[in-house]
């Protein structure tokens, strides 16, 4: 009976994550918004696991493992970029843009 509210909250959280990615320029904040989207999807998995069996909870486990790996590698990339550019703003990451 909590499926509808859970899916609604999940949809709103995912949209807020997308909005954050679109409206911010700080790479670290954008990265946090990606984590927010992953969490919104996790909520969907757990809500559906209540009706469809514990397989959904197992999948959330894998999403968390992938998110941890992604955070470690992503933050290492941000550190490497910061060392080159002394900035984490997307405006300064325009190597592929002409002019």
Partner 1 sequence: MTGTVFWIFGVIAMGSALLCITRKNPIASALWLVVTLFALAALFVLLDAQFIAVLQVLVYAGAIMVLFLFVIMLLNLGRPGPSDIKGPLGLGVAVLLAAALLFLLQPLTQTTLRSAITLPPGSVPALQQQQGIVGSVANSLFSAYLIPFEIASVLLLAAIVGAVVLAKRKL
Give contact residues for partner 1 (rule: CB under 8 A).
1-9, 11-20, 22-26, 28-29, 31-33, 35-36, 39, 42-43, 46-55, 57-58, 60-62, 64-73, 75-80, 82-83, 88-89
- Phi/psi of residue 27, nearest 5 degrees: -60, -40
For the CB of residue 98, give the shortest distance to partner 1 in the complex, in Å: 20
For the CB of residue 34, give the shortest distance to partner 1 in the complex, in Å: 11
Other beta carbons within 10 Å of 77: 12
Cα–Cα distance list, 71 to 9, 59, 62, 66, 94 (Å): 24, 18, 14, 9, 23
Nearer residue to partner 1 within complex by CB, 45 or 96: 45
Other beta carbons within 10 Å of 50: 14
Nearer residue to partner 1 within complex by CB, 32 or 95: 32
For the CB of residue 14, give the shortest distance to partner 1 in the complex, in Å: 7
For the CB of residue 18, give the shortest distance to partner 1 in the complex, in Å: 6
3-state SS, residue 26: strand
């Amino acid at each position: 009976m909590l499926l509808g509210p859970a899916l609604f909250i999940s949809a709103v959280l995912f949209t807020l994550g997308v909005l954050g990615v679109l409206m911010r320029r700080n790479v670290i904040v954008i990265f946090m918004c990606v984590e927010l989207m992953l969490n919104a999807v996790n909520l969907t998995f757990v809500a559906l696991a209540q009706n469809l069996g514990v397989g959904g909870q197992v999948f959330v486990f894998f999403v968390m493992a992938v998110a941890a790996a992604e955070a470690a590698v992503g933050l290492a990339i941000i550190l490497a970029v910061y060392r080159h550019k002394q900035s984490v703003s997307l405006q300064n990451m325009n190597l592929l843009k002409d002019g």
